[in-house]
Chains A and B, each alone.
Chain A
Amino acid sequence: MTGDDRPLLEGRGLTKRFGGLTAVNQVDFAVQPGEIVGLIGPNGSGKTTLFDCLSRLQRIDGGRVLFKGTDITRASPHRVARMGLSRTFQVIRVYRKMKVLDNMLVSRRWRGDSYLRVMRPSSAETVCRARELLEFLRIAPLADEPAGHLSGGQRRLLEIGMALMPNPDILLLDEATSGVNPTLIETIKDHIRTLNGQGKAFLLIEHNINFIADLCTRVYALNHGETMAEGTPREIMENEAVIDAYFGA
């Protein structure tokens, strides 16, 4: 990190242990505003755990997380979300019995409203934004369906929509393309490019290497909870250690 361009999201020496297993070990990384960064690694290399630490779902055992220069190492998850960090989940989390539109509405930006506001129905602007995003993601015709009736791919899109509702500064997408058909993957790619054009940063966990190569400017490769390599997608794909980790030495 040179100069005074402060990273948007930064981890310093992040460590997470589960009993005797160190899932994330002394990981340093940074995402600059407006950057798309990839996170790859074999199964069990600690990618999702790192996400969980960043979004504060997991307690952090060592190191610090800074978001917009603020230390969020001990902040509660809802506070981090309100600061402008959104994420999706490897195992999809939508509110199955709620309508698609209502899923979007309760994912709105909560920051800055007085508590009494929540005692009223969703505001017209919130409804308007939710409908626009559903339109953008091309799932608007499903607005009145319970989320539980959606297909896996549609739920992924809904989750991305819910993550976009608060107009976050950074989106953490955990395997956004798994279980999604190739056409839809292209759609998601387009969405990410459009949103990135609007200044949003992305941190992507992916097994789909083409997806990473097409979108990311920088990639971190994890193995056994440690950073094994960092560089452009091309550098990473040619890196001996990364190839060994994926295909076995």
Chain B
Amino acid sequence: MMARVWDRLARLGQGWGGLGLWWLLLAVLALYPYIGVTHLTLFLGSQVFVLVILASNWNLIGGMTGYVDFGHAVFFGIGAYVMGILVTKSPLLISPEWGFLQALPVSGAAAAVFALLIGLPTLRLKGPYFSIAMLGTFVAMREIVRVLRPLTGGGVGLNLPPVLNRLGDYYLMLVLMGLVVSVMWWIRRSEFGQSLIAIREDEIGAEMRGINTTLHKILAFMIAAFFTGVVGGFWAWQNTFIDPDVVFIETRTVEMVMMSMLGGLGTVWGPPLGAVVIYVLQTVVWGRLFGIHLLALGILMVLLVLFLPEGILGMSGRGGSTSLGRLLGRIRKRAEP
């Protein structure tokens, strides 16, 4: 009974119904600012949207393609710095308010180009070697940014013009989140997405059956980097200040991994769900654990890997491959006649 409900939900999620429900949710969120909210809730809203975008993008390379990227925040950082440099140094921007929108796609494009350059060597590596190479890339990029003082301001950082538009930020991130999740939904259904999952399951098998694995991996990596870069650019603008230590922080990657894992690796709706759950946990629970919230994050990650490696949406009816899934299966079996 429960298993059948899960199956039907899964089919709904992959079908047009899933996308329809998603757009319905977006419409509701679009009306949200009109029911009397403060600047603070708009700001918090745009932050949740950012987390959903980051988790969904990490999932494309980490969950669907199976390349666990422990340095994905490098693309966030590149996007942030491209935004910072363009806004403060480029004479090409029309005005502080609108120049930001001009620079946003450039942030994404820069991250995508970097993904191409770094992906060509690193995506040849398998398993933990790729993860470590990306972590190395991330750390190296932080130091490069620190050293390139004339361009990046070095350790002192860059101050961006403070332009406060909470409503604009809210809608911008709402639209981007809507787009990103729709793109992921589309990819998951397409032959491209199926090929990515085949690569995750058996890369040699996929290559030997005519899938151009290099091209697929690079493309997935570039898409994931593009949107992460856009979000990085947005973050720099919203934060109005960037330096290597606030932009390139490891926990940003860790968060992406955790949100994807908690929701369900390789699924479309898992990472957004995971992002919301983690955000709520962070604000409601860990707000009270001041000082040890990183410890709580670490413990949660260990628990996740041990008991829920396939995430909330991974505990589908039949999936008895996780201990929690097995437990739930046993309870269900007892409940069923």
Instruction: Given A78-B211, A78-B212, A166-B210, answer yes or no on A118-B202 (Cβ-Cβ < 8 Å).
Output: no
Instruction: Given A93-B204, A94-B202, A98-B201, answer yes or no on A118-B195 (Cβ-Cβ < 8 Å).
Output: yes
Within 8 A of A (CB), among B181-209: 186-187, 189-192, 194-195, 197-198, 201-202, 204-209
Instruction: Given A55-B208, A81-B210, A106-B209, answer yes or no on A93-B191 (Cβ-Cβ < 8 Å).
Output: no
A16: chain B residues at CB < 8 Å are none
A6 on the B face (CB < 8 A): no
A68 on the B face (CB < 8 A): no
B137: chain A residues at CB < 8 Å are none
A218 on the B face (CB < 8 A): no
The answer for the CA separation of A102 and B14 in the assembled complex, in Å, is 14
Are A97 and B201 closer than 8 Å at their CB atoms?
yes
Say which residue of A82, A94, A98, A122 sits within 8 Å of B210 (CB atoms). Answer: A82
Instruction: Given A93-B204, A95-B197, A95-B202, answer yes or no on A117-B209 (Cβ-Cβ < 8 Å).
Output: no
Interface centre among B187, B201, B204 (most CB of A within 10 A): B201
B-binding segment of A107-115, A193-201, A202-210: A107-115
Within 8 A of B (CB), among A89-107: 89, 93-98, 102-103, 105-107
B122 on the A face (CB < 8 A): no
Q: How far is the CB of B215 from chain A (nearest CB, A)?
A: 8
B282 on the A face (CB < 8 A): no
B47 on the A face (CB < 8 A): no
List the B residue with the shortest CB-CB distance to A162: B209
The answer for the CA separation of A192 and B204 in the assembled complex, in Å, is 25
A63 on the B face (CB < 8 A): no
Are B190 and A121 closer than 8 Å at their CB atoms?
yes
Say which residue of A96, A117, A120, A166 sits within 8 Å of B201 (CB atoms). Answer: A96
A106: chain B residues at CB < 8 Å are 191, 194-195, 198, 206, 209, 211
B192: chain A residues at CB < 8 Å are 118-119
The number of A-B residue pairs with CB atoms under 8 Å apart is 84
Q: How far is the CB of B226 from chain A (nearest CB, A)?
A: 16
The answer for the CA separation of A234 and B213 in the assembled complex, in Å, is 43
The answer for the CA separation of A78 and B207 in the assembled complex, in Å, is 5
A166: chain B residues at CB < 8 Å are 209-210
Interface centre among B187, B209, B212 (most CB of A within 10 A): B209
Are A98 and B198 closer than 8 Å at their CB atoms?
yes
Say which residue of B201, B202, B208 sits within 8 Å of A77 (CB atoms). Answer: B208
List the A residue with the shortest CB-CB distance to B310: A97
The answer for the CA separation of A98 and B209 in the assembled complex, in Å, is 15
By DSSP majority rule, is chain B's interface helix, strand, loop, or mixed? helix
Count residues of A near B (Cβ-Cβ below 8 Å).
Answer: 34
Are B209 and A81 closer than 8 Å at their CB atoms?
yes
List the A residue with the shortest CB-CB distance to B190: A119
The answer for the CA separation of A109 and B190 in the assembled complex, in Å, is 16
Q: How far is the CB of A60 from chain B (nearest CB, A)?
A: 16
A57 on the B face (CB < 8 A): yes
Are B202 and A78 closer than 8 Å at their CB atoms?
no
The answer for the CA separation of A93 and B207 in the assembled complex, in Å, is 11
A47 on the B face (CB < 8 A): no
Are B208 and A105 closer than 8 Å at their CB atoms?
no
Q: How far is the CB of A13 from chain B (nearest CB, A)?
A: 24
The answer for the CA separation of A165 and B205 in the assembled complex, in Å, is 14
Q: How far is the CB of A77 from chain B (nearest CB, A)?
A: 5
A156: chain B residues at CB < 8 Å are none
The answer for the CA separation of A166 and B208 in the assembled complex, in Å, is 12
Are B207 and A77 closer than 8 Å at their CB atoms?
yes
Q: How far is the CB of A245 from chain B (nearest CB, A)?
A: 29
Are A93 and B202 closer than 8 Å at their CB atoms?
yes
The answer for the CA separation of A36 and B262 in the assembled complex, in Å, is 51
A86: chain B residues at CB < 8 Å are 209
Are A118 and B205 closer than 8 Å at their CB atoms?
no
B205: chain A residues at CB < 8 Å are 89, 93-95
Interface centre among B187, B191, B205, B208 (most CB of A within 10 A): B208
Instruction: Given A93-B202, A119-B192, answer yes or no on A81-B197 (Cβ-Cβ < 8 Å).
Output: no
Instruction: Given A97-B201, A106-B198, answer yes or no on A57-B208 (Cβ-Cβ < 8 Å).
Output: yes
The answer for the CA separation of A109 and B209 in the assembled complex, in Å, is 9
Are B191 and A122 closer than 8 Å at their CB atoms?
yes
Are A111 and B195 closer than 8 Å at their CB atoms?
no
The answer for the CA separation of A117 and B192 in the assembled complex, in Å, is 9
Pick 5 A–B contacts, CB within 8 A, sort by A. Answer: A97-B201, A119-B186, A121-B189, A162-B209, A163-B209
Residues of A whose CB lies within 8 Å of any CB of B are 55, 57, 76-78, 81-82, 86-87, 89, 93-98, 102-103, 105-107, 109-111, 117-122, 162-163, 165-166
Residues of B whose CB lies within 8 Å of any CB of A are 186-187, 189-192, 194-195, 197-198, 201-202, 204-213
- Can you list the 8 inter-chain pairs with the closest CB atoms, starting with the nearest? A93-B205, A95-B201, A81-B210, A118-B191, A110-B210, A118-B192, A107-B209, A106-B198
A-B contacts besides A57-B204, A119-B187, 5 pairs, CB < 8 Å: A78-B212, A97-B201, A106-B206, A107-B209, A121-B190
